[in-house]
Chains A and B, each alone.
Chain A
Amino acid sequence: MIKVKINGQEQSWDGDPDLPLLWFLRDEAGLTGTKYGCGQALCGACTVIVDKQAVRACITSVNDVAGREVTTIEGLHPTGDHPVQKAWRQVNVPQCGFCQAGQIMQAAALLMDNPKPSHDQIRESMSGNICRCGCYQRIENAVHLASTGV
């Protein structure tokens, strides 16, 4: 039995320990905010935060996060008012929105690590997250806004 804390709640899993965290979150725990985009750590749609670090849930097994704290988009802020979320709304970032949970989690992790990232630092640390709709300009502006106070 694997125990893991997700958004502050203890969860347990007695199935395949190698099950990717992504599918555990989505299909077993019902937390569908975290998305599948590639399954190979190529797109960032599945980004969650594990102990303050952005990780790709599609290549992280449930076993890998045993005893650790996982934060998903649903748990980022109780009312959805994390500075990154607020900035995203202010800048009207999303088009289809499917990549945005991953983008927001990546941006939140970036700002924990580097509260005032430069233009180049934003572009570099967000470049693992694909947005097929092409919202990059606004994502960059929103990260910048979140870092300067919304």
Chain B
Amino acid sequence: MNFIDNPGKLHSFEKRGFEKNIKVEKVSRRSILKGLGITGGFVLAAPVMSRQALAYETGAGKMPHGVVVDPRVFVSVGPDGIVTIVGHRSEMGTGVRTSLPLIVAEEMEADWSRVKVQQAHGDEVKFGNQDTDGSRSTRHYLIPMRQIGASARTMLEQAAAKRWGVPATEVKAVNHEVVHSASGRKLGFGELAADAAKESVPSIEGLKLKDPKNFRYLGKGQVGIVDLHDITTGKAHYGADVRLPGMKYAVIARPPVTGGKLVSFDPDAALKVPGVEKVLKVQGWPWPSKFQPLGGVAVIARNTGAAIKGRDALKLVWDDGPNGKYDSVAYRKELEEASRKPGLVLRKEGDADAALKGADKVIVGEYYVPHLAHVSMETPVAVADVKGDKAEIWAPVQSPGGTREDVAKTLGIPEGNVTVNVTLLGGGFGRKSKCDFALEAALLSKELGAPVKVQWTREDDIHNGFLHTVSVERIEAGLDKSGKVVAWRHRSVAPSIASTFAAGTVHQAPFEIGMGLVDMPFEIANISCENPEAAAFTRIGWFRSVSNIPRAFAVQSMVGEIAQATGRDQKETLLALIGSPRIVKPEVKDLWNYGEPQESYPIDTARLRKAVELVAEKGEWGRKVPKGHGLGIAVHRSFVSYIATIVEVAVDDKGKLTVPRVDTAIDCGTYVNPERIASQIEGAAIMGLSLAKYGEITFKDGKVQQKNFDDFQVVRMDESPVVTNVYIVPPGPDTPPSGVGEPGVPPFAPALINAIFAATGKRIRSLPIGKQLEA
């Protein structure tokens, strides 16, 4: 059966979406565009799934274009028995290109060794939402992928039953064949393919999903990623590796200050560089420029090396524009001052002001996290081939659907004329949710009338990115005589991602304040969460785990400070603050819950406690460590998962820091591939250590002062944790799946900082650590 090549009968799932327009909420990284009125406020959304079939609901249906549950879109079976399953999300290292097809294979009883994965191009009407961000692929697609697999299996079973003239209830698909046990007859999937394609697609309501106890693959972690062999042999195909006949290579000189403009340029010296063919102006968009290109001057050459050399030879004059005075030292002072005054109150319980005044002791922590750059190993890169009113793109994008929309809009052609081919991504971390680099390639290809690859250099990546915000988080905790925390005031001051879309934005968006500020889970009588104003002077974007980084750093460092002030154990202090097992329901307008319904994904302190207790047990909290070593602990709920980390640090007498051991417990609900969960958490520890130790982008005169891995350092192998142990909390039978890609990052830095205090008695409140331990 070839479902994919059988588009004749449009299945009802897609059609149902047309009948039921659902207003987009500000739930997705793309829908922020819609939420801010840049495009229309309505999208098609398919209902996620029927209530009967499911124990829980997710926010999947509210994503742009919702979910498509149709085996003919996702599965085909060849006469040779090869099952092809479409992976419609972008692979950037999480393993999603393996995990989602594996779910389909599990349910359809396909043998994984006879499955091929085919990457979907960007087409959300066909495949449903494709935004690979927000740690939600498994969360949104576990059940839809199971339903797709179960439909395909049912169609194969029906075809076999007809062939044998027996009731469908008597046959059963088992490991790539359908068997009739009464007669001992068997037919392979390949032999049934043609007939199965003629079967009608069963209704979701009637589908029987497998009993999880019969799972062969899900939850087992024994399947390697589909790209493993290609990666180890150099055959894996990333955006950077696309080559087309007649393709030109381009690098672009962009304005050194965000919002700046080209005044003039002299191409002569560049044109003399061997291999350089042309120098072209690139259109830029005014600040705030959303995902549109910044503009500049492109050097077109026969290879990338020549293009880079040509660009170095360009003479350029820029007007730095409105952000030309941005200075991160001065701005930090502004943020700190703002944090010391009242701000917009977002959550208020009891009377924090009075309780702080009446407290026996008030502990104040002002925590700083600077701008960060993603520096995914593969810099932004894209190939475009624009011919007339048609465009084809090859790019490592996290949002192929969004890329398609934006390319169409930028070129002024219908969306249906744009094909977006999704390559592997050499890392994404949120940077590749923005398709500016693909738009640059499209504009240049249109102008040249030839295919073009736009390659960003590492310097471009660091100078012209969409940085993680910069923030001051100020927490005041009031303690009574017994040491109990009776008041909590948290002010968060940081420019918002929304500033990249709407001029004049000074407050953080619900999706940012919902990341560890207003959803703070501690059992405290008097709480005030505030957001003083902060403007943006550069492009701010999503960075793996987003605002959870500064929030977890502040909140969990404060827990350490409270333990320190009361002379109590960190873990006991943490558990006391979390308080009784309960569902936390903060009274907050537009409470953001990662786009998920509260009913399926409440803030559950029992699960938070469990993560702490598990990591404490397995990670041997309280164990004796050598002199100069210290243990620190932190827990954080993000992307509706619960993660606790213990870091052991060693600081020598010169202040040099090493990390002998990391232990992390993650409760991500029902899970698919524990082996990939472990790899995500191992990686998150290293990203957490990188940002804690080194991560800082600074500005002077509006320009980023760092340029490459020498001055924007990341952790290397010789300083990486010697061992990271990962423990997965076993899920209950109906626990919905939750995020994995991002939530490992936030608890790392505060656990490290608490460990450093235990080792040295020094309390670090400003990241990165840099030379602070050397003093």
Contact = CB atoms under 8 A, between A and B. Distances in A.
Genuine A/B complex:
yes
Interface of A: 15-16, 19-20, 22-24, 26-28, 30-40, 42-43, 45, 72-74, 76, 80, 85, 88-89, 92, 94-101, 104, 122-124, 126-140
Interface in B100-147: none
A98 B238 contact: yes
Contacts of B457: 39
Contacts of B275: 15-16, 19
Given A42-B709, A74-B234, A136 B686 contact: yes
A31 B458 CA distance: 21
A98 B428 CA distance: 11
Interface string B691-711: 000000000000000001110
A94 B93 CA distance: 8
Given A40-B708, A132-B714, A27 B305 contact: yes
Given A30-B243, A40-B458, A137-B721, A97 B305 contact: no
B225 interface: yes
A131 B428 CA distance: 13
A109 B464 CA distance: 35
Given A89-B229, A133-B377, A134-B685, 5 more contacts: A23-B303, A32-B241, A36-B304, A96-B376, A132-B427
A53 B687 CA distance: 30
Chain A binding surface SS class: loop
A16 B413 CA distance: 39
Top 5 nearest A-B pairs by Cβ distance?
A33-B234, A98-B426, A134-B686, A23-B305, A96-B93
In the complex, which of the residues A38, A76, A123 has the most CB atoms of chain B within 10 Å of its own CB atom? A38
Contact of B231 (A37, A40, A94, A122): A94
Interface stretch (B27-35, B471-479, B675-683): B675-683
A95 B94 CA distance: 6
A36 B455 contact: yes
A97 B304 contact: no
20 contacts: A19-B306, A26-B240, A26-B303, A35-B238, A39-B708, A74-B235, A95-B94, A95-B680, A96-B91, A96-B92, A96-B376, A96-B377, A96-B425, A97-B236, A97-B426, A126-B718, A130-B714, A134-B686, A134-B687, A135-B682
A135 B426 CA distance: 13
Contacts of A132: 375-377, 427, 429, 687, 714
B183 interface: no
Nearest to A74: B234
Contacts of A45: 377
Nearest to A16: B274
Interface string B235-270: 111101101000001000000000000000000000
B683 A134 contact: yes
Contacts of B308: 39
A140 B273 CA distance: 42
Nearest to B427: A96
A32 B682 contact: no
Given A27-B304, A135-B683, A137-B721, A97 B93 contact: yes
B116 to A, nearest CB: 18
B345 interface: no
A97 B458 contact: no
Contact of A32 (B243, B375, B708, B718): B243
A62 B249 CA distance: 19
In the complex, which of the residues A42, A96, A127, A130 has the most CB atoms of chain B within 10 Å of its own CB atom? A96
A130 B683 contact: no
B305 A24 contact: yes
B724 interface: yes
A15 B273 CA distance: 11
A18 to B, nearest CB: 8
A20 B305 contact: yes
Interface string B713-743: 0111111111110000000000000000000
Nearest to B458: A38
B378 A96 contact: yes
A98 B710 CA distance: 20
Contact of A38 (B234, B238, B683, B709): B709
Contacts of A123: 717-718, 720
Interface string B219-237: 0000011011101111111
A101 B378 CA distance: 13
A134 B708 contact: no
B545 interface: no
Given A35-B240, A124-B718, A132-B375, A92 B233 contact: no
In the complex, which of the residues A92, A123, A129, A133 has the most CB atoms of chain B within 10 Å of its own CB atom? A133
